A and B are shown apart, each in its own frame.
Chain A
Amino acid sequence: MTILEEPIKEVLALRNYIGDEWVESEGELVDVVNPTTCKVIAKVPISTRDEIDAAVEAAKKVFPEWRRTPPLARVRCLFRLKELMEEGFEELSRIQTMEHGKTIDESRGETRRGIENVEVATGIPSLMMGYNLEDIAVGIDEYMIRQPLGVFGIIGPFNFPFMVPLWFAPYAVATGNCIIVKPSSEDPISQVKIAELGEEAGFPPGVWNVVNGGRTVVSGMLDHPDIQGICFVGSTPVGRDVIYKRCGNTGKRVVAQTGAKNFLLVMPDANLERTIASCMTSFYGNTGQRCLSGANLIVVGENLNEREYNALYEKVVNAFVDAASKIRVGYGLDESVQMGPLRDKSKKLRVTGFIEKGIEEGAKLRLDGRNVKLVGDWPHTCFLSPSVFEDVTPNMTIGREEIFGPVASIMRARSLDEAIEIIHSNPYGNAASIFTSSGKWAREFQYRVQCGNIGINIGIVAPMAFFPFSGMKDSFFGTLHGQGREAIRFFTESKVIVQRWF
């Protein structure tokens, strides 16, 4: 068992980055706790309304200068930021493991995905270009240009503390806007580190601000007349009932990427070995705390008789349980570990509540993750091992609601039509996958399923930085999505000029 060295040696006192200053907040300080060791690794302020207002003021002040900065000069800051991120790759990754709990491989993957967004945004001089047409009438030309809007707020979730704000931030600043990032107060260290690198990369003061905190900061962003738009990733109730509605009330642009209940279909012709390996990634990666995590596995008996279907179902369930039972759980900095803890104790309690509910409603618990087996001697406070339920039905609580933890629910469907109906009966529409060797079934699935991200023989349908991170139904509120070209459209206004010279 090799435990990698922890980069955080003493309790960090986190501050806000507003304008050109690292400022201490007037707000109360709360603990940031490593969920494995249960030790406090930082103190984060819950900032005040005045502090978010000060950040907006700083961003607003520098905006005219920043938007006039040539795109090529703007992206030079991003090139430097990328280089600094590459230099600090390992430290940034280990910090994520310490503040969130995920394994070091998962953290490094998150760091890479974050950097990829910075890389894509460095293409802004080309990507931001408009278009034109000569002679739309006699002697008249028309063209469209993209212009930045001003100040944007970015509200980050706890499950990807490094990457998710980078779905938005690089595109926002590259297109000439200024940003205020509010990291999750549960794991804010990564975003503070990114702001430090941003300062070193040479962004003018006020372009990239960080204000730590909670509801007061979010409300301050939502109510502020000088914030043009909000990017949010978090739960559906907050995204729909707070962020989306209040942005509508105040005329702000909004990207609200929210909750999920993702279905994975196993067809009779699936490559089962590869499917099960992919399912382990999907259901238990990041300890199930992903909006793209698999939640319900449907074994589909298309074209099979009763006996054949039962044999397939048993085979899939047994293989799934066998594989899940072998996942090594422990500290993410231990290189032998394959799954870390939940982010905190309350999340663990929430997940165990779902497990109890599943038993109560009649699902069969084949693997009970409450019997925690750990690699290493760590407090069990935030840990659960993988759980597997079978004979789950779509109307059971565990089959219907987002658990956000390492719990798999296995369901039955006798046909592809029935499986798609089950997917559509759920209010979420974030991701869905099919495992099959049939192009016909795969096409049918991608054509009909109402989810934003579709996987074909893929367990985690994570769009690359140059594609939008999509979502439908109760999983997304807004029009344009984060990442790639859609992010560029989100952060710019299309201005049309019709021109004639006498």
Chain B
Amino acid sequence: MSKGGSRLSEQTTCSAIISFADKLEDNSSRFYEKLAEKSAENKETFLAFAKESRKNKVLVTRTYQETITDALEACFIQINLSNYLAETTIKEDMSYLDALEMAIELEERASSFYFDVAEQSKSLLATIPRAFRKVAEKRNNRKLKLKSLTKNLM
């Protein structure tokens, strides 16, 4: 039973998780628009990432709003959001390679966040973990793509 008690103590509200996801996708979208300016060759790829982030935000928000009930137990998830914070500001003097490294770190944290939330929400309505897993996989695919772009530069 002590496990039950400690689990409750670490819980984050659903609202906080969705706000975090919203912000993550907003920041990611802005980040890739900025990154697109740094590479004519991969501009379309980065703009597609930015667009995808806007869609991710819609998907996550809609899933939450359509499935939330007033039942408190469904609204707490055991997660520490500070573990998933990532830098998304590209400085003017930053090299393209450094910006790519930053993007990989961002995707690493984002996909971990979504995979972890999907895992934590497994006992809820299937729509919820499915949506988080879908976004997690998209972000993981971005990471693979970014790694291949980095490799090509080296």
Contacts and interface: CB of A to CB of B under 8 A. Distances in A.
Interface in A97-112: 102-106, 108-110, 112
Given A113-B70, A273-B3, A277-B8, A108 B13 contact: no
Interface in A53-105: 86, 89, 102-105
B13 A276 contact: no
Interface string B1-17: 11111011101111110
A115 B70 CA distance: 13
B32 interface: no
Interface string A275-286: 011101100111
A285 B4 contact: no
A105 B19 contact: no
Contacts of B65: 86, 89, 108, 112
Interface string B92-135: 00000000000000000000000000000000000000000000
Q: Is the interface of B mostly helix, strand, loop or mixed?
A: helix
Contact of B5 (A2, A86, A323): A323
A280 B11 CA distance: 12
Given A2-B19, A108-B68, A280-B8, A336 B13 contact: yes
Contacts of A106: 70, 72, 75
A276 B69 contact: no
B1 A285 contact: no
Question: What band does the interface of chain B fall in when counting residues whose beta carbon is under 8 Å from A?
Answer: 20 to 34
B69 A326 contact: no
A105 B75 contact: yes
A302 to B, nearest CB: 19
B41 interface: no
12 contacts: A103-B13, A103-B15, A105-B13, A109-B68, A110-B70, A272-B1, A276-B4, A276-B5, A286-B70, A316-B1, A322-B2, A335-B13
A309 to B, nearest CB: 16
A338 interface: yes
Contact of B73 (A104, A281, A335): A281
B8 A326 contact: yes
A458 to B, nearest CB: 9
Contacts, number: 103
A156 interface: no
B71 interface: yes
A322 B5 CA distance: 6
B1 A280 contact: no
Interface of B: 1-5, 7-9, 11-16, 19, 64-76
Given A105-B75, A319-B1, A2 B70 contact: no
B15 A108 contact: yes
Contact of B71 (A86, A315, A335, A459): A459
A273 B4 contact: yes
Contacts of B1: 272-273, 276, 315-316, 318-319, 322
B101 to A, nearest CB: 29
| For the complex of A and B, 4 pairs with smallest distance between CB atoms | A109-B70, A322-B5, A281-B72, A273-B4
A455 to B, nearest CB: 11
Contacts of A323: 4-5, 8
A273 B68 CA distance: 22
A284 B72 contact: yes
A326 B8 CA distance: 7
Nearest to B69: A109
Given A106-B72, A277-B73, 7 more contacts: A109-B69, A273-B3, A277-B7, A278-B73, A322-B2, A322-B8, A336-B13
A113 B66 CA distance: 10
A365 interface: no
Contacts of B71: 109, 281, 285, 459-460, 462
Given A89-B65, A110-B70, A326-B9, A277 B75 contact: no
